Chain A
Amino acid sequence: MSSNNLNLTLKVWKQKNSQDKGQFETYQVKDISDEMSFLEMFDVLNEKLIAEGKEPVTFDHDCREGICGACSMYIDGKPHGPWLANTVCQLHMRAYKDGDTVTVEPWRANAFPVIKDLMVDRSAFDRIIQAGGYISVNTGNAQDANNIPIEKQLADDSFAAAACIGCGACVAACKNSSAMLFLSAKVSHLALLPQGAIERKTRVLNMIAQMDAEGFGACTNTGACEAVCPKEISLTNIARLNQEYLLAGLTAEK
Chain B
Amino acid sequence: MKWSEFFTSSIGKKFVMSLTGLFLIAFLIVHASINACIFADLPVFDANDNGEIFNKAAHFMGATILIRILEYGLFLFFILHIYQGYLLTVQNKSKRSVGYAVNLGNRGSKWYSRSMALLGTLILLFLILHLGHFWVKARFLHNLAPVTYNGVEMHDMFAEMKMVFAQPWVVIVYVLGCISLAYHLAHGFQSAFRTLGVHNNRYNIILTSLGYGFAIIVPLVFALMPIAMYLGWVA
Which residues of A does B touch, CB under 8 Å? Answer: 11, 22, 24, 74, 76-79, 103, 105, 108-111, 173, 175-178, 180, 205, 208-209, 211-212, 215-228, 235-247, 249-250, 252, 254
Contact = CB atoms under 8 A, between A and B. Distances in A.
A208 B108 contact: no
Given A105-B102, A236-B201, A243-B197, A78 B107 contact: yes
Contacts of A111: 95
Interface residues of B, number: 44
Nearest to B11: A245
A208 B195 contact: no
Interface string B1-16: 1000110011111110
Contacts of B103: 77
B101 A24 contact: yes
A212 B9 CA distance: 7
Interface string B100-126: 111111011110011010000000000
27 contacts: A22-B98, A24-B101, A103-B101, A105-B101, A109-B96, A110-B94, A175-B104, A176-B92, A176-B93, A178-B92, A209-B5, A216-B10, A217-B10, A217-B92, A218-B11, A218-B14, A219-B11, A221-B194, A221-B195, A224-B114, A225-B108, A226-B108, A228-B108, A242-B11, A242-B199, A249-B1, A252-B1
A175 B92 contact: yes
Given A76-B102, A103-B102, A205-B1, A223 B109 contact: yes
B143 interface: no
Given A76-B102, A243-B198, A243-B199, 4 more contacts: A74-B102, A110-B95, A227-B109, A246-B197
A100 B183 CA distance: 36
A219 B113 CA distance: 11
A249 to B, nearest CB: 4
A245 B7 CA distance: 11
A180 B14 CA distance: 12
A254 B10 contact: no
B97 interface: yes
A14 to B, nearest CB: 13
Nearest to B8: A212
A176 B90 CA distance: 10
A218 B8 CA distance: 11
Contacts of A180: 10
B18 to A, nearest CB: 9
Interface in B195-209: 195-199, 201, 204
A208 B7 CA distance: 12
A249 B10 contact: no
A109 B93 CA distance: 10
Contacts of A245: 9, 11, 197
Contacts of B95: 109-111, 176-178, 215-217
Contacts of A103: 101-102
A217 B91 contact: yes
Contacts of B196: 242-243, 246
B180 interface: no
Contact of B197 (A209, A220, A240, A254): A240
Contact of B92 (A173, A220, A246): A220
- Residue among A74, A222, A241 with max Cβ neighbours from chain B (10 Å): A222
A244 B93 CA distance: 26
Given A245-B11, A249-B12, A223 B108 contact: yes
Contacts of A235: 194
A221 B10 contact: no
B151 interface: no
B88 interface: yes
A212 B10 contact: yes
B104 A173 contact: yes
A166 B2 CA distance: 30
Nearest to A218: B10
Contacts of A109: 95-96
Contacts of B92: 175-178, 217-218, 220
- Residue among A79, A180, A218 with max Cβ neighbours from chain B (10 Å): A218
Interface in B167-198: 187, 190-191, 194-198
B98 to A, nearest CB: 6
